[in-house]
Amino acid sequence: MTIVDKENPIPYYLQLASILRHKINSGEFSADQLIPSERELCDTYGVSRSTVRQAMQTLKEEGLIWKQRGVGTRIAPPAKIEQNLSGYHDFDLQMIEQGHDVTMTILGHTLLYGSGRAGRLLELSQTDEIFRLDRLRFVDNDPVFLEKIYMPVKRFINISQSDFLETDLFLKKVKEEYDIVLGPARVFLEPVLLHDEECDTMQIEQRPAAGLLFERISLDDSGRPVALTKRIFRGDRCRHLLEIKAK
């Protein structure tokens, strides 16, 4: 629907709300963009100011728009995605269960040595090689976090970039090819300010930008470190849930 049909029994304001909602959801109106004024909407769709105001109220109640005093009505940013940190969580699975599409782009890989923080957390010597892979993760085509994965080469001799094209594929390979059974994990969370390079990669324009550093040390069933995963979430698109049960 692109016009308000005066012969349609659906109330005019609901028709107008539907038109504007489609423009928002399709990306024709982008986040934080000012939408046309009441007068412009009246002229464009041939409706009264009261119809426009009712339509705006409907969209506001849906969380699609917000009014900035003295400026106008803006498109609201997308709702934040929510990740549950309780248990041994799988980000992709959680997003899919919530009805989101998840994709990734591999940014590259490199070989490091165990003298830095990653080596210490993985309990490696200074001469041990570490395979590091960088990925950009998307939810509904929006970049939401940068991911760096560190793996000890001595435990994963044949590791390659292609192993990380799918999360399930890698976990299956860890179990079947390397005969490693994953055990518990240690997780560290820290609020951070994102660097310009991180903002550029995640397409964040408003700066300074807040983020959350998520570090997870995955252990095998004997308690030895298997991998270190660092995720840098953008604060404007993500929030995290931790459920605490009563004793």
Q: Tell me which residue of 40, 31, 37 sits closest to 75, measured CA to CA.
A: 31
Q: Tell me which residue of 123, 37, 138 sits closest to 81, measured CA to CA.
A: 138
In the chain, what are the domain boundaries? 12-75, 81-241
What topology does CATH give the domain 81-241? Chorismate lyase (3.40.1410)
Q: Which CATH number fits domain 12-75: 1.10.10.10, 2.60.120.10, 1.10.1040.10, 3.40.50.300?
A: 1.10.10.10
Residue 226 in this model has a pLDDT that exceeds 60: yes
pLDDT digits (tens, 9 = 90+) for 185-209: 899 999 999 999 999 999 988 889 9
Give the rounded percent of residues in the chain with a pLDDT score beyond 90.
52
Band (pLDDT 50/70/90 cuts) for residue 89 is low
User: What three-state secondary structure class fits 191?
Assistant: strand
> Could you check whether 12-75 and 81-241 share the same CATH topology?
no
Tell me the pTM. Answer: 0.72
